[in-house]
Amino acid sequence: MSARDAWHRFRKNRLALVGGAFVAALVLAALFAPWISPHDPAEQFDDGLTAQGLPVPSTLPESTRFLLGTDELGRDLLSRILWGARVSLTVGVLANAIAIAIGVAVGSVAGYVAGRTGQVLMRVTDVVMSFPTLLLAVALVAILRPSLWVIIFVIGAVYWTWIARVIYGETRRLREMDYVEAARSAGARTGRIIVRHILPHLLPTIIVWGSLGIATNVMLEASLSYLGIGVQPPTPSWGVIIREGQNFYRTAPWLIVYPGLAIMLTVLAFNLLGDGLRDALDPRQRR
C-alpha cells in the first residue's frame, strides 16, 4: 500500500476532508490568534459590560466591536475563543504525543517480547486502566496543582493505556509476519527488530490514533477546566469560559453556546479526520 493510494482513498472521503480542513483552519487560528483576534483576550473593557453590569450581547447595534458579545467581565468572547484554541490544541497535541510515546513503547515491547516482561507491562496497563480516567486525572491534577504543563502531563499519563492496548494487539499480529521471523532467524536483536521491522508497520495505527487521541484529549482538557481543576483563569480555555459563563446562562446564553460549539466542532473534526485516516490507511477495517 503506498502513500499515494492512501491519499487517493482519503481524498474521496468527503467527511474526512471537511474534518481535515477544519483542523487546518483551527491550527491557523491558534497560531495567528494574537494577530487575528479583534482584542486582547484578557482585557476587561469598560464598555464590555452593560449599565447593570451584565455581558453585552452581539445583537446590540452599538456592540459591533464585540462580534460574539462579551463575557461576565466585559472581555471579548471571540478573542477568548480564538486564544482558547491555542490552549486546546497545545494540550491535545502535546498530551497525545506523551500518550503515544508511552503507549507505543509499552505496547510494542509487551506485544513483541511477550513472556514475563510483556505480562508485567500489560498488567501495569490494566492497573492504570482500572482507574476511571477522568477521576484519576482529576486526582493527579489536584496533587500536582493545576497548571498547563501538569494538565498536559496528566492527560498523557492517563490516556496512554488505550494506545498501548491497540499497539499491543497490532504488534502481536506483526510479530508472526514472515519478514519479522526472517529477521529473527538472521540473529537481529530484539530492540533492532522492534525499531526496524515493527515500528514502521505501526505507523498507520499511530497516525490514526494521533488524530483520534487529540479529539479525546481536547475533551478531557475541557472537562477538567470545566470542573475548575484544569487550566486556571484568566487563561482562556473553552472549558473555563463555560464554567465562568454558566451562571449567566439566562442573561447571556452565548457564553455557553459558542465555546461549547468550539469544543464540539474541534472534537468532531479530529474524529472525522481520524476515521478518514483509518479508512485510507487500513482498508481492512473499512466499514
Partner 1 sequence: MLGRMRRAFGYLAFAGVLSVVLAACGGTSLGPAGESPSGSEAPSGQAPAAKKVFTIAYKDDLATLDPAVGYDWTNWPAEKMVFDGLLDYDDTTNLVPQLAESLPEVSPDATVYTFHLRHGVKFQNGRELTADDVAYSITRVLDPATKSPGAGFYMGIQGAQDFVAGKADHVSGIEVLDPYTIRFTLSSPDVTFGNKMALNFAFVVPKEEVEKYGADFGHHPVGTGPFTFVSWTPGQELVFKKNPDYFKPGVPKLDEVHIQVGVEPEVALLRLEKGEIDMMGDPIPTADLARVLSDPAWQDRITKAPQVSTIYIAINTRVKPFTDVRVRQALNMAIDKDRVIKLLGGQGTVANQILPPLMPGYDPDYQGYPYDPAKAKQLLAEAGYPDGFETTMDCLDVDPQPKICQSFQQDLAQIGIKLDIKTLESGTLIADAGTEGKVPLVWSGGLAWIQDYPDPDDFYSPILGCGSAVPGGWNWAWYCNQDLEAKEQKAIGMTDREARLQAYREIFRALMDDAVWVPVYNGEYIIAHGANVVGKPTDFAHPEHTIRYEQLDLK
Partner 2 sequence: MTRYLVRRALSSLTVLFGISVVTFAMIYFLPVDPARMYAGPHASVETVARIRHQMGLDLPLWDQYGRYVARALQGDFGYSYDLQMPVTEAVLSRFPYTLELIFAAIFVELVLGLPLGVAAAVWKNSWIDGLATVLALLGVSSPPFWLGLLFLYFFAFQLGLFPLGGVGGLSHLVLPALTAGLGGVGWYARMTRSSLVEALGADFVRTARAKGLSEWTVVLKHAVKNALNPIVTMAGQDIPWFVGGVVVVEMVYAWPGVGRLAVEAILADDVPLIMGTVTLTALLVVASSIVIDIAQAWIDPRIRLEA
Please check whether residue 275 is in contact with residue 16, taking contact to mean a CB–CB distance below 8 angstroms.
yes
Collapsing DSSP to helix, strand or coil, 278 comes out as helix
Peptide bond into 234 cis (omega under 30): yes
Tell whether residue 143 is a contact of partner 1 (CB under 8 A): no
d(CA 71, CA 93): 28
Task: Indicate the length of the chain as a whole number.
Answer: 287
Collapsing DSSP to helix, strand or coil, 76 comes out as strand
Amino acid 46 reads D
Tell whether residue 32 is a contact of partner 1 (CB under 8 A): no
In terms of CB distance, is 64 or 130 closer to partner 2?
130
In terms of CB distance, is 124 or 227 closer to partner 1?
227
Tell whether residue 248 is a contact of partner 1 (CB under 8 A): yes
Tell whether residue 191 is a contact of partner 2 (CB under 8 A): no
Interface region with partner 1, contact rule CB under 8 A, candidates 36-44, 85-93, 165-173, 211-219: 36-44
- Could you tell me how many residues of this chain bind partner 2 (CB under 8 A)? 43
Tell whether residue 233 is a contact of partner 1 (CB under 8 A): yes
Q: Which residue spans within the chain are E strands per DSSP?
A: none
Interface region with partner 1, contact rule CB under 8 A, candidates 95-103, 204-212, 230-238, 257-265: 230-238
Quick one: what does residue 3 bind among partner 2, partner 1, none, with the CB cut-off 5 to 8 Å set by partner type? none
φ, ψ (nearest 5 deg) of residue 230: -110, -135
CA 122 to chain centre: 24
| Residue 143, CA distances (Å) to 99, 114, 139, 140, 147 in order | 20, 34, 6, 5, 11
Which residue has 496528566 as its cell numbers? 154
CB of 76 to partner 1, least distance (A): 14
d(CA 233, CA 46): 19
Site string for partner 1, 71-100 (x = CB under 8 A): -xx---------------------------
Tell whether residue 190 is a contact of partner 2 (CB under 8 A): no
d(CA 159, CA 164): 9
Site string for partner 2, 107-146 (x = CB under 8 A): ----------------xx-xxxxxxxxxxx-xxx-xx---
Give counts: helices (H), strands (E), the chain: 12, 0
Tell whether residue 57 is a contact of partner 1 (CB under 8 A): no
CB of 146 to partner 1, least distance (A): 10
The residues in 233-272 that bind partner 2, with binding defined as CB under 8 A, are: 239, 242, 246, 249-250, 253, 256-257, 260, 263-265, 267-268, 271-272
Identify the residue among 244, 271, 274, 280 touching partner 1 (CB under 8 A). Answer: 244
Identify the residue among 68, 155, 215, 231 touching partner 2 (CB under 8 A). Answer: 215
Quick one: what does residue 44 bind among partner 1, partner 2, none, with the CB cut-off 5 to 8 Å set by partner type? partner 1
CB of 156 to partner 1, least distance (A): 24
Please check whether residue 88 is in contact with residue 222, taking contact to mean a CB–CB distance below 8 angstroms.
yes
As given in the structure block, the three cell numbers for residue 8 are 487517493
